[in-house]
Amino acid sequence: MSLRTSAAEAAANPLIPHTAELIVGFIAFTLLFLVLRSKVVPMFEKAFTARTEAIQGGMEKAEKAQQAAQVALEQYTAQLSEARGEAQKIREEARVQGAAIIDDLRSKAQEEAARITAAATASIEAERQQAVTSLRNEVGSLATELASKIVGEALDDQVRQSRIVDRFLDDLEKSK
């Protein structure tokens, strides 16, 4: 206890301030305040501002990209539905056209068939007519010939006979 300095003894009551400490305290705090205010706070604020801006910039960029993507999506969707509609239209047209072509072909084929049938019928009729005509002629001549032959047998004459045969043969040849 006896080693204590007088200054210490004066400050034995811990609630009594010490002049040197008060002065140093004032100076130290003021000094620290000035340093922190001029050097540290502005720099930290600068960093904070830069960070906020960077984040905001990034968010804006992202927002823009999102908007662009949205626009592109809408565009694609519109194009897709347009294409779908077009495809539908084309399919419909093709179906209609196909049906028309089939109808057309069918009617053409039917016409053709009718035409062919008519031609065949006509030609058959003509041939038949011709056959009837020629048959009628031939039958007539044959009958006449036969009749005349039967009648002419009595006229048994060599010359006459040969004349009749010749004439018959000639007639035959002529009729061919």
Binding interface with another protein (CB under 8 A): 1, 3-5, 7-9, 11-18, 20-22, 24-26, 28-29, 31-33, 35-37, 39-41, 43-44, 46-48, 50-51, 54
138 within 8 A of 176, measured Cβ to Cβ? no
In the complex, the smallest distance separating the C-beta of residue 59 from another protein, rounded to whole angstroms, is 15
- Least Å from the CB of residue 64 to another protein: 20
- Please state the closest distance from residue 10 (CB atom) to another protein, in A: 9
Rounded CA-CA distance 45/38 in Å is: 11
Q: Which is nearer to another protein, 23 or 113 (CB)?
A: 23
Burial 147-157 (b: 16+ CB within 10 A, else e): eeeeeeeeeee
CA distances from 136 to 110, 132, 165, 173 (A): 38, 6, 22, 17
Q: In terms of CB distance, is 36 or 126 closer to another protein? A: 36
Q: Which two tokens stand for residue 55?
A: 């984040």
Encoding tokens for residue 28?
A: 């130290």
CB-nearer residue toward another protein: 23 or 73: 23
Q: How far is the CB of 86 from another protein (least distance, A)?
A: 52
Kindly tell me which of 43 and 143 has the beta carbon lying closer to another protein.
43
Closest C-alpha among 125, 127, 149, 141 to residue 176: 141
CB of 85 to another protein, least distance (A): 51
Structure tokens, 81: 């539905």
Question: Which of residues 17 and 98 has its CB atom nearest to another protein in the complex?
Answer: 17
